[in-house]
Structure 1
């Protein structure tokens, strides 16, 4: 996702899947493929190294799962405790939330 309008539309009407470490918002898009947006505030993850690690792991997980994800816009929002997770736990949690948001909407 590239423009502020893309993010605003997701924040306005989104399905949520969350954990104590991060939240994923999802909203249907008019494209034929899923898109990823990241929100990693400096207030939540203080160091650039930590923010970049969060983004790198999230993008890799999305890249591996995008073929099984529906055509939605996804925004992943970091929380402070995300930096405490090991890479393996981080990926497992992301996989669980991707799966939860892939299910059809409940009307």
Structure 2
């Protein structure tokens, strides 16, 4: 049975890990998010988040978006290829409510599954 926990090993924490992805990313874009990914040598996917104040002004909105991205990743981690991902929120992500935002993220994860 799959575990749907979100331990520290599933997170990108160091700037060097982010730079690794941005060197040669496989990109998937939408109006609300850009998700960059790169194959890792681990046996699980990992995620890092980038949400700029320039695009999402209010802290509670940034926190809401981060929470939803993490939740979406946690629920889809067993379907995803063994890649490191960086999710970048864009301006239009603030305008969506939680349900629609989760559906958009679900579609992006599905597109990554089809890539590999």
TM-score by length of 1: 0.94
1: CA distance, partners of 2:79 / 2:44: 10
Tell me, what secondary structure is at the counterpart of 1:67?
coil
**Match of residue 81, structure 1, among 75, 84, 92:** 92
Tell me, what secondary structure is at the counterpart of 2:22?
helix
Within-5 A mapping of 1:1-107 = 1-105=12-116
**C-alpha deviation, 1:86, in angstroms:** 1.3
Aligned residues: 105
- Structure 1, unpaired ranges of 5+: none
Deviations 1:71-100 (A, max 9, x none): 100100011110101111111110111011
Tell me, what secondary structure is at the counterpart of 2:77?
helix
Runs of 4+ residues over 2 Å off in structure 1: none
Deviates most, 27-36 or 96-105: 96-105
- Structure 2, unpaired ranges of 5+: 1-11
Partner of 2:3: none
2: CA distance, partners of 1:12 / 1:5: 11
